Structure 1
């Protein structure tokens, strides 16, 4: 039996999916039809979610989007050891390349930015704490999915319409799987004009102690400022991601302390 709590979670997920897709912010009638409920039920559920700041009205008041409470909860879900260990590495990347660098984790089907080191040129990327971007057409998002098989990608992105993104973004799961396979072999995602026009994301996966991908580390560079440095930038991001894995594991081990008798 589906509980009210389960329905509320499904409702929140539907609002987030619509916000990231091409349909825009959904209204009460659209959500009621989607879930097979009457508008009074949907209205009560939305009112409860809004009271927790998990959803809010969009700027025009016509539909719903995720709220600050949701973003705050998602940001707090980022591993504290990982975030703390990432800060000096992000600063090092910015000092070297003079471009923004940030750390992302996967949350509710999106790439969530949990730590950022800005540069003078940061305005051209969606790199701010709490920012959410699609998984399928961004360097950070694709790096988070590098271990996924084509079937796993199809299941995860079943509601994605592959509309939007930059001019070189993939447009279906098959193309994403092929592109990810090539990047998996290289150990780094170079997302050229996949999200922003004329911007290249260099993103490397960050693995936890189990070997699973837990985050991605990224640097974004406008194409006109690359100057033949693509391989060097990509290598530096991979190096920083590897160092982050070591530093985060060390911090976690120190925090946990020696095993008991």
Structure 2
């Protein structure tokens, strides 16, 4: 551990990271129990975070929720992302062409993070949302990106990440996953056919920078019945063209 490691800051971050889509509100006792810290320690950290706007206390039940300051900082991160800004016009055109939801993701800590999502006119509630993390091995955007990482990194991730089966169609065998990644590299696109969520299908393609390194991926996703065999050729072609258009904005000449 680094000599510059500050325990109180680390604990404060631990508190913030306890909150999730399923745990939007937590009491001092719940935080104390989960982090195995004394109530007095937790109370001091919480009051500091609350004072700076990172937490808010509800007057009704005294529980805490994430504060607006985090939303403000999150918008600064998203708004300052060159990738998101350069890709947005292309994403908008793709949604208009295919009439389905389009996602943009980047790689972070062996997962993808959704950094942009523009919904189509007939969108449905799905797994994705801005800021959410998802596996590399069983999402279209994840596989499109995963397929273009170096072999050593791919092997490390497959060895270290829990290959959980989200549906009966999720590939969890490392050998089978690597075989599919090779196919994705060859054809230039990936398909998620109900691997992360039943009823959901998507087509995804990688985005490269001027050095030819994969930096992100883009997808079009929607209900499986709207991704019929007759339409798949169009979906694949348009998603690949969109990925190439974004790549060219980063100087890609491949």
- TM-score where L is the length of structure 2: 0.70
- Where structure 2 has 5 or more consecutive residues not aligned to the other structure, the ranges are none
CA offset digits 1:100-141 (Å, max 9, x no partner)? 11222234665333333322122233555x341412432223
Q: Is the 8 A contact 2:123 2:222 kept in 1?
A: no
Q: How big is the alpha-carbon RMSD for the aligned residues of Structure 1 and Structure 2?
A: 3.9
1:151 equivalent to 2:156? Answer yes
Q: Is the 8 A contact 1:126 1:133 kept in 2?
A: no
- Where structure 1 has 5 or more consecutive residues not aligned to the other structure, the ranges are 251-261
1:231 equivalent to 2:233? Answer yes
1:123 is paired with a residue of what secondary structure? coil
2:124 is paired with a residue of what secondary structure? helix
Q: Give the 5 Å matches for 1:103-252.
A: 103-107=104-108, 110-126=111-127, 128=129, 130-136=130-136, 137-146=138-147, 147=149, 148-155=153-160, 157=161, 160=162, 162=164, 165-171=166-172, 176-228=177-229, 229-249=231-251
Number of residue pairs matched?
Answer: 236
User: Greater shift after overlay, 166-175 or 91-100?
Assistant: 166-175
Q: 1:12 to 1:227 in 2, by over 3 A?
A: same
Q: Is the 8 A contact 1:75 1:112 kept in 2?
A: no
Larger radius of gyration: 2
Q: 1:216 to 1:5 in 2, by over 3 A?
A: farther
Q: 1:86 to 1:106 in 2, by over 3 A?
A: same
Displacement of 1:209: 2.8
User: Counterparts of 1:187 and 1:85 in 2: how far apart (Å)?
Assistant: 21
Aligned to 1:86: 87
CA offset digits 1:51-96 (Å, max 9, x no partner)? 5565779xxx899887765565455435643223222211222222
Q: Is the 8 A contact 2:124 2:223 kept in 1?
A: no
User: Counterparts of 1:63 and 1:110 in 2: how far apart (Å)?
Assistant: 31
Q: Is the 8 A contact 2:12 2:45 kept in 1?
A: no
Q: Give the 5 Å matches for 1:6-25.
A: 7-8=10-11, 11=14, 15=18, 19=20, 25=23
